[in-house]
Structure 1
Amino acid sequence: MQIPEAFKEKMRGLLNDEDYEKLMSSYDGTVNKGIRTNTLKCTPEEMARKTPFELEPVDWCPTGYYIDSDIRPGKNPAYYAGLYYVQEPTAMTSAEALAPEPGDWVLDLCAAPGGKSTQLACMLGGQGLLVANELVNNRAEILASNVERMGVPNALLFNEFPERLAARFRERFDKILVDAPCSGEGMFRKDNGAAEEWNPERVLHCAKRQIKILESVDKLLKPGGVMVYSTCTFSPEENEQVIEDFLGNDRYELMDIDLGGLNDRGRPEWSEKGTPALTKTLHVMPFHVRGEGHFIAKLRKTAECPPEEEALRLKRKSRLKPAGRRELGDYEVFAEEYLNRRFNNLHLQGDQLYSLPEGITLKDIEGLKVLRPGIHLGTLKKNRFEPSHTLAMVLKPEDFKTVYTVKDDEEAYTYLKGEPITGADLKGWVLVCFEKWPLGFGKASQGMIKNHFPKGLRIRKK
C-alpha cells in the first residue's frame, strides 16, 4: 500500500515514535472482518447456530463478532434471512456509544450503507422511530436495501440535506448519530482509494463541511438529547478541533464514553484551545485494537436553539396521500386471506402502499425527498394486491397464514437463485422461510411455488 508522504509527516508530528511505527506497521496487516447479530430477528446464540464459521466476540459490542478474513458471509441463507449484518468491528462503536432506548426518536444523519442504522434499529427493538438519511443517491439505495433485509419495522428513510430535515424536525430527536463524511484516514487499509485521494486540502474541506453539518444537527436534537459524532479519520482538524469549535455555542457538554477494551482518549493538545473536556472523546487506533481507525465524541444538549430569523421553506410536493377505503379494497382482500397482523397509518404513493411509522404524519415529511416512508407493503395492481419483499422481511411466520419452510440449505439456495420450489401442496401467496426466518414470498399452485424473490437480489451460486 502506498501511504501519502504528507500523511506520514503529519502523523509523525502527532504521535510518539513508538506509536508512529506501530501505525505504519498496521497497514501491512489484514483487514478485520466482522458480523453483528440482528436482534430484531434472532438472539446471538441462534445466529451462531446458523452460521457455519467460527465467531469471536467483539469487546465493545455484545452482538458483534470477528470472523476470519477469508470468509464470504454474504453467501449464506442466514445472511439473506437477515440474521446478521456484515460490519467492520470498530464501525460498531459509535452506535454502542449512542445507546438509544426503545421508544426514542433516533436520527442517523449520514446513514449509508446501513450498518449503524440497523444497529440502532436493534437497540430500539421496533419501538419509537428510526430516521435514516443519506444524501448521495446511489448510497441511499444501498441503505434502503439493507434496512429492508434486516426487517426494520419503524424506519423512515430520507435522501436529504441536513438543513432541510431541520425545517421539519426541529428539536424532535432524542438521539442523533453523525458518522460524518471525512478524509478517511482510518480506512487506508480497508480502501486503497482512500489513500490515493487523501491530501491536506481534503482534510480542511471535510472539517468545514463537518462543522456545517453539526449546525444543522443542533436544530434537530431536543434539549436534553444526546448526540454522537464520529469519523473514520485521525486528523485533529476533523476530530478534536471540530468538537471544540462546536462547543463554542455553549449548548452542549461532553459525556464520558465507556466501551469495553477502548481507552485511547482524545488529545486536548491536538486542539486549538486545549479544551480539557476533550479527554472524554475516544480514539480507536488500529495499532491498539483489531480494527480500523475511528474517533467518537458523545455530547448532551443543555439548552434550546435560539429562534430562527427566517425558516427554510420546503417547496417540493409530496406524492404521498392517505389511502381511503375504496382504494384499499384489494389490499383488504389480501390482508383478510393471508395476514394475521394489522398495519396502520396506510398511505399511497402512486400505486405503492406504505405503512407509515407510528407518530409520523404527512405534515412531518411534506416537502422532503422521502426514500422510504415506512414499511412498503406492496403494489396495488388491477383487481389485485401484490405484496412486497419488504413486507416479507418484517413478518414473522405466525404473521402469515400460509408458510413454507425450506427443507434444508440446498432448498434455500434454490429459492435464493430465483428457481421454483416443487412438491408443495399449497395454494396462493406463501411466505417462504429458512427455519423461522422469512426469505421472501412465493405463489403456490399445482404443487409448485413460483418464485417471487426480487431479481436484483438473486444469487448465481453459493
Structure 2
Amino acid sequence: MDSENFKQHLKKYLSNENIDKLITSLNDKQKYSCIIIDEEKIDKETIKKIYPTLIEHPFVKNAFLYDKELELGKSLLFEIGAFYILEPCSILVSHFLNPQKDDLILDIAAAPGGKSIHTSFLMKNKGQIISNEISSSRVEILSSNVEKYGRKNISVISTDTKTLKNQFPNTFTKIILDAPCSGSGMFRKDINMKEDWTYNKVLSCATLQKELIIDAYSLLAEGGEMIYSTCSYSYEEDEEVVQYLLNNTDAILLDIPSFNGEYRSSLNKTVHLLPFLYQGEGHYIAKIKKPNTLKKINFPQNKNKYNLDGEIFINNKNELFLTNLLLSFKNIRVLRNGIKIGTIDKKLGLIYDHAYARFLQNNLSKVDLSKEETINFIYGLTLNKTIPDGYVNLTYLNIPFALGKVSKNQIKNHYPKGLRKKLLHY
C-alpha cells in the first residue's frame, strides 16, 4: 500500500489529527466480534446465562459483542443456528434499514449472507428477501448460510443489476446495497486488502458503485427506502457516490439517527464508522428514500396443501421449496426459494431435506436431545432412544437442527456427512 497516497486521499473529509488516529488504530487488532441471536429460537436471558461475558449492544436489538478469544464460531449453538456472527459495524446496516414483516427486500450483493440473515431475524421469517450475489462461488456460500439458519423468507439468486432492473423496476420496498469496494475498512482483518490497496482501485470501485446505486434506485418502489454502505474509508466511494445519486435522480437523503461513536462529514446525514471511535473495523452508511407513497405488498395468507403457511415452488429437479412470496425470475439462476422441504420421488413420495429440519415451524415430530447427545449426533453417531419408529426432527434447547430416522429404538444419523464435525466447546 502507498501509505502517503492513502493519507492524502483521506483529507477530503478527515483532519490531520483524525487521519493520524485512524492510521494508528489500523495497527491495533480488533478485539471484539458480534453475534445476532434469532429470538424465535433463543432468548436474551438464555444466551447470557450460557455466555455470561457477552456485552449487550447499546441500541441494536438482540446483538451482543464478545471477545474473539471465546471462539463462538466453534460452538454448539452457532452450529445449530441459534445466532449469526457479524462484524460489529455490519449489524448497523439491517438495524437502520428497519425492515418490517410486510416488506419485499432486495439485498443486491449479499454474500456471505450476514445482512440478509440479520434482516430475516428482524422480520421473524415474514415478508420476503431476495438475496442476490453475482459471483458464482460466493453465491454458494450465501445459499449454504441461508439453509443453515432455516430462512423461509429468503430466496437466493445470482445475476447482475441490469437484469434485475429490467424485470423488477420500482418493485422492492427496501433495498440493501453493500457495494463492492476497495476494502480499506478491512485492513485489520485481511492483510491482503491492505497490500492490494491503491488509489486507482478506489476510483475504479467508485465508477462501479455509481452504476450500482443508480440501478438499485431504479429497483426501489416509490416510497421505498434503501441503505447504501461500504467497508471503505474513501470519500470517493462513500459521499461522492451518494451525491452522484442525489444529483441524477429524485432521491431523498434520510438522516441516520445519531449514536455514540459515529463520525459525520459534510454530507452529514450519513455516517462513517471509524475504529478509533466505534468498536469495529470500518464502515460507511447512508439511507435513501424514493418519493411518493409506498404501496403495500400482498402476501398469500392461506395454508398450502402441505398445511404450511406460504407458497410452494417445485423446480425441474422435483425439489420442493416453501417461501412467503414467489417472484417470477426469467433467465436468472435461482439457488433456493426459501426453505427446501425435500425432493419428490415417484416411488417413495416426499423425501425430507436437512434444510427443512432447520425450519422452526416445520410439521415434523420433535425430539429434544441433551447437550452430549446433540454433540454426538453432529459428530455422526447413532443415538439410542425409546421412541416410535419414523422420521423425527431433532432439537437442542428446542432449537431444530437435524433429521433422524428412528428404527428399533435407534435414531439413525441423517446429518449431512459434509457437515459432521467434532465441536470443541458449548
The 3-state SS of whatever aligns with 2:69 is: coil
- 8 Å Cα contact 2:34-2:66 kept in structure 1: yes
- Distance of 2:221 and 2:313 partners within structure 1: 28
Shift in Å, 1:83: 1.1
The 3-state SS of whatever aligns with 1:260 is: coil
**Residue of 322, 330, 333 corresponding to 1:369:** 333
Structure 1 residues 8 and 249, CA gap change in structure 2 (3 angstroms): closer
- The equivalent of 2:399 in structure 1 is 437
Shift in Å, 1:210: 0.5
- 8 Å Cα contact 1:98-1:227 kept in structure 2: yes
- Distance of 2:364 and 2:278 partners within structure 1: 48
Report whether the alignment pairs 1:351 with 2:318: yes
Q: Which structure 2 residues correspond to residues 416-427 of structure 1 after superposition, within 5 A?
A: 416-427=378-389
- The equivalent of 1:395 in structure 2 is 360
- Distance of 2:166 and 2:351 partners within structure 1: 35
**Residue of 268, 284, 287 corresponding to 1:295:** 284
Moved more, 57-66 or 194-203: 57-66
- The equivalent of 2:145 in structure 1 is 146
- 8 Å Cα contact 2:262-2:278 kept in structure 1: no
- The equivalent of 1:308 in structure 2 is none
Shift in Å, 1:288: 0.4
- Distance of 1:24 and 1:344 partners within structure 2: 51
**Residue of 378, 383, 392 corresponding to 2:342:** 378
- Distance of 2:94 and 2:182 partners within structure 1: 20
- 8 Å Cα contact 1:3-1:195 kept in structure 2: no
- 8 Å Cα contact 1:424-1:449 kept in structure 2: no
Q: Name the amino acid aligned to 2:418.
A: G
Q: When you count helix as a share of all residues, which structure comes out higher?
A: 1
Q: Name the amino acid aligned to 1:405.
A: D
Structure 1 residues 41 and 352, CA gap change in structure 2 (3 angstroms): same
Deviations, residues 107-156 of structure 1 (Å, cap 9, x unaligned)? 11111111110111122222221111111122111111211222211111
Report whether the alignment pairs 1:65 with 2:64: yes
Deviations, residues 220-257 of structure 1 (Å, cap 9, x unaligned)? 10111111100011111101111111111231111011
- 8 Å Cα contact 2:262-2:274 kept in structure 1: no
- Distance of 2:313 and 2:109 partners within structure 1: 27
Q: Which structure 2 residues correspond to residues 264-343 of structure 1 after superposition, within 5 A?
A: 264-265=263-264, 267-268=265-266, 278-302=267-291, 341=308
- Distance of 2:12 and 2:225 partners within structure 1: 33
- 8 Å Cα contact 1:60-1:259 kept in structure 2: no
Structure 1 residues 218 and 12, CA gap change in structure 2 (3 angstroms): closer
Equivalent pairs, count: 412
The 3-state SS of whatever aligns with 2:111 is: coil
- The equivalent of 2:301 in structure 1 is none
- The equivalent of 1:413 in structure 2 is 375
The 3-state SS of whatever aligns with 1:212 is: helix
- The equivalent of 1:36 in structure 2 is 36
- Distance of 2:352 and 2:322 partners within structure 1: 13
Deviations, residues 131-183 of structure 1 (Å, cap 9, x unaligned)? 11111122111111211222211111111101111222211111101000000
- Distance of 2:207 and 2:95 partners within structure 1: 26
Structure 1 residues 150 and 259, CA gap change in structure 2 (3 angstroms): farther
Q: Which runs of 5+ in 2 are unaligned?
A: 294-303
Aligned-residue CA RMSD (Å)? 2.2
- Distance of 2:15 and 2:309 partners within structure 1: 60
Shift in Å, 1:11: 3.2
- Distance of 1:148 and 1:461 partners within structure 2: 20
Deviations, residues 435-454 of structure 1 (Å, cap 9, x unaligned)? 21011101110121111112
The 3-state SS of whatever aligns with 1:280 is: coil
Structure 1 residues 34 and 188, CA gap change in structure 2 (3 angstroms): same
Structure 1 residues 344 and 239, CA gap change in structure 2 (3 angstroms): closer
Deviations, residues 192-216 of structure 1 (Å, cap 9, x unaligned)? 1110111111101100110111121
- 8 Å Cα contact 2:274-2:283 kept in structure 1: yes
- 8 Å Cα contact 1:60-1:261 kept in structure 2: no
- Distance of 1:119 and 1:428 partners within structure 2: 34
- Distance of 1:124 and 1:197 partners within structure 2: 38
- Distance of 1:342 and 1:161 partners within structure 2: 31
Q: Which structure 2 residues correspond to residues 202-241 of structure 1 after superposition, within 5 A?
A: 202-241=201-240
